[in-house]
Amino acid sequence: MKVGLVSPYPWDVPGGVVAHVRDLAETLLADGHDVSVITPVDDEDADVPAYVVRAGRSVPVPFNGSVSRLAFGPVSATRVGRWIRDGDFDVLHVHSPETLSLSLLAVFIARGPIVATFHAANPRSRVLAMMQSPLQVRLEKLSGRIAVSPAARKTIVEHLGADAVLIPNGVHIARFADAEPLPGWPGDGGALAFVGRVDEPRKGLDVLLDAFARLRSDRKDLRLLVAGPGEHDDLPDGVTALGLVSEADKARVYKSADVFVAPNTGGESFGIVLLEAMAAGTPIVASDLDAFRRVLDGGAGQLAKVGDPAALAEACAALLDAPERRAALSDRGRVQVRQYDWSIVATEIMHVYETAIAGHHGGRVVAVPEAEAETSALLLP
């Protein structure tokens, strides 16, 4: 099958949607499918896989409590149209079309079997509110809709009046299960780990740093390993910041901790970091967010009050002092995460592709010249 994937966010900026698109592409390629991904790439010198088609650079846009980098405009529309024409795809799979992005442009321009995955839980999306009028007609062209979580599915139903198949994010379990700890970690004094954007407030690093200071008052040798892009002005003693790490080293970070901590304060529709920690066999302390509760399923991790450093410290201390409890959570997590392996998730997505193609009687994806011209004209100032 020839599959065209559209990533709304730049390939060289780490994020959950980009990781999802990358892992899906590589899983489909390994299964023998022909895959092409169009995506913004901000660094002209960035090394990208052969299956990636560059669509230019992105611009920062505030979205869902953070800053997303998106590509949207006449030049982007022209590049998307050319990619669709050249690709001759059996199915087009766009991601997060509720954003002003390449995905939305592709929906405007293309005709044929089009599948969309909605990743965000954003009940107050201004773009989706606009789509309830003329733009909503465009999204009615979708042949299949996927939501990665119940919260994302609820957003689709409320804004678009349409349902979606629930297919969660995936994780390559073996990649994390087989990883080795970083040299010298976790050590005898205990170690915590955080993975996420350091400079994005909703990821909760400041909450964790406050909790860590409380823990260090009587655990002088406790350490915290921080991995993720961005900078923090004031990291205390005991904290090691690795910055942006490779996928291989990210797996090693999870293996380097006695407890993985997800102190996020909101805006999460799923929780891919929890899957990665479970795949690595690392016990979890996470904020008591609805999305996190669903992933942990009531027993694969310890929950703490959102935004409360004292509660977070207490939950971490309880696990650090209970090796048998940590072992039980590790075992539970390894079992819980099996349903999210990419071998299973990709099969479910393929079923959606097949249904979308069947609904168009095997017709391929095409770029409609009139739609492309109309879209470019609409975007001109």
Q: What is the pLDDT along the chain (381 residues), one digit of tens a residue?
A: 999 999 999 998 888 899 999 999 999 999 999 999 999 999 988 999 999 999 988 887 765 556 667 788 888 999 999 999 999 999 999 999 888 889 999 999 999 999 999 998 765 555 555 555 545 666 788 999 999 998 888 878 877 777 899 999 999 999 999 999 999 999 999 999 999 999 899 999 999 999 999 999 999 999 999 999 888 888 999 999 999 999 999 999 999 999 999 999 998 888 899 999 999 999 999 999 999 999 998 688 999 999 999 999 999 999 999 999 999 999 999 999 999 999 999 999 999 999 999 999 889 999 987 766 666 655 654
DSSP 251: H
Domain 2-170+341-379 in CATH: superfamily? Glycogen Phosphorylase B; (3.40.50.2000)
What are the angstrom distances between the C-alpha of 151 and each of 143, 154, 168?
Answer: 21, 5, 11
Residue 352's H or E segment, with its range, is helix 342-359
Q: Which two tokens stand for residue 296?
A: 């942990």
Question: Cα separation of 201 and 211, whole Å?
Answer: 15
pLDDT for the residue 63:
56
Establish whether domains 2-170+341-379 and 173-339 are of one fold.
yes
Work out whether the CA dihedral 105, 107, 108, 110 comes out positive or negative. Answer: positive
d(CA 266, CA 336): 23
Alpha-carbon distance 69 to 61, whole Å?
6
Helix (H) / strand (E) element for 285: namely strand 284-287
Q: Where are the alpha helices (DSSP H) in the chain?
A: 16-30, 74-87, 102-109, 126-131, 134-139, 150-160, 173-177, 205-216, 247-255, 272-280, 290-296, 309-320, 323-336, 342-359, 369-379
Give, in degrees to the nearest 5, the angle at Cα 40 between 21 and 30. Answer: 30
Torsion of CA 190, 191, 192, 196, to 10 degrees: 180
pLDDT of 75 reads: 87
Q: Quote the pTM value.
A: 0.89
Domain boundaries, the chain: 2-170+341-379, 173-339
Per-residue confidence (pLDDT) for residue 68, from 0 to 100: 66
Token readout for 360 is: 């168009």
Please report the pLDDT score of residue 98 as a whole number: 82
Choosing among 3.40.50.10860, 3.20.20.140, 3.40.50.2000, 3.30.1300.10, the CATH entry for 173-339 is 3.40.50.2000
**Among the listed residues 86, 156, 90, the one whose alpha carbon sits nearest the alpha carbon of residue 121:** 156
Residue 173 one-letter amino acid: I
pLDDT, position 99: 81
DSSP 154-208: HHHHHHHS---EE----B-HHHHHT--PPTT-S-TT-EEEEES-TT-GGG-HHHH
